[in-house]
Amino acid sequence: MTFDRSIKIAPSILSADFADFGAEIQAIEAQGADWVHVDVMDGHFVPNLTFGPPLCAAIRPHIKTVMDVHLMISPVDPYIDAFVNAGADIVTAHLEAGPHTHRTLQAIRGAGAKAGLAVNPGTPVDAAAPLLDLCDLVCVMTVNPGFGGQSFIETQVDQIRRLRALIGDRPIHIEVDGGVTPQTAPLVTAAGADVLVAGSAVFKGGSVANPTVYGENIRAIRTAAEATAFAAQ
C-alpha cells in the first residue's frame, strides 16, 4: 500500500448480503470501492457479534483492493496473528480495548499488517497522541460502535479536525466510521479525513443483480467528499 491522502471509500460488508459475500465484494470493487471494510465484533467489547478470522480468510481471495479489518474486540492481542494470517492488510484496534495499546500496535506491525487505532466518541483524540508514531491509520468513530445504520455524531467533526492537527505531516490515514452519507462526507473530509467507511449508504437499493446502484452510491459519497477535501485546500 502506497500512502496518499486522496479520498478513499471503504464499504462495510456489515451491510452486504451475508449469503453472498464473494459476489458482493466483487460488485463493490467493480463499482469503484477503494477498500473493503470488515467489522469484527465480539459481543463483549460491543453489543453485537459478527465475523472471525475464518470469514476473513474465505473472502480474502475475492478482495483485489485492501482488506481493512476493524477489530471491535477485547482482548485484541491473542487474535492479531489470526487476522493477519487470514489476509488483513490493515488491522485496527480500539484505544479503549485494553491497557497496553502501544504493545498492540507493535504486535500488528510485527505481524506484517498496517496498524490502525480506533477512538470512540467518548474518548478525546488527544489520548492517541503518544501512539501516533506507531499508527498507519487512526479511525475516528462517528457513531458508538456495535451496529450499522446509526446516526452520525456531528460533534466528532471537531475531533477529526483536532486529530488532523496532531498528525501534521506524518503519513497516517484518518478514517471515519459511522453515519457516512453524501450529506456528512463533506463535513469529515473538510476536517481532514481521507478514508470514509460507509455501509448502508453504499449498499442501499442495490444488489449483486443490480450493482450499478452501488456505483451510484459510491460516486455520490466521493463527489461530496472531494468537494471539501482537506488535502485540496
**Annotated catalytic residue within 34, 89, 136, 177:** 177
Q: Comparing C-alpha atoms, which of 154, 136, 186 is closest to residue 35? A: 136
Q: Comparing C-alpha atoms, which of 166, 165, 163, 173 is closest to residue 196? A: 173
**Annotated catalytic residue within 34, 39, 89, 136:** 39
How many residues are listed for the chain in this entry?
233
| Residue that the C-alpha cell 467489547 belongs to | 45
Q: How far is CA 192 from CA 32, 69, 139, 166, 233, in A?
A: 22, 21, 12, 11, 10
**What would the DSSP string read from start to end of 173-205?**
EEEEESS--TTTHHHHHHHT--EEEESHHHHTT
| Residue that the C-alpha cell 481471495 belongs to | 61
CB 70 within 8 A of CB 94: no
CB 176 within 8 A of CB 188: yes
Catalytic residue check, 39: yes
Give the span between the Cα atoms of 141 and 124, in whole angstroms: 11
Q: Comparing C-alpha atoms, which of 159, 150, 166 is closest to residue 187? A: 159
**Cell numbers describing residue 230:** 482537506
Known catalytic residues are 39, 177
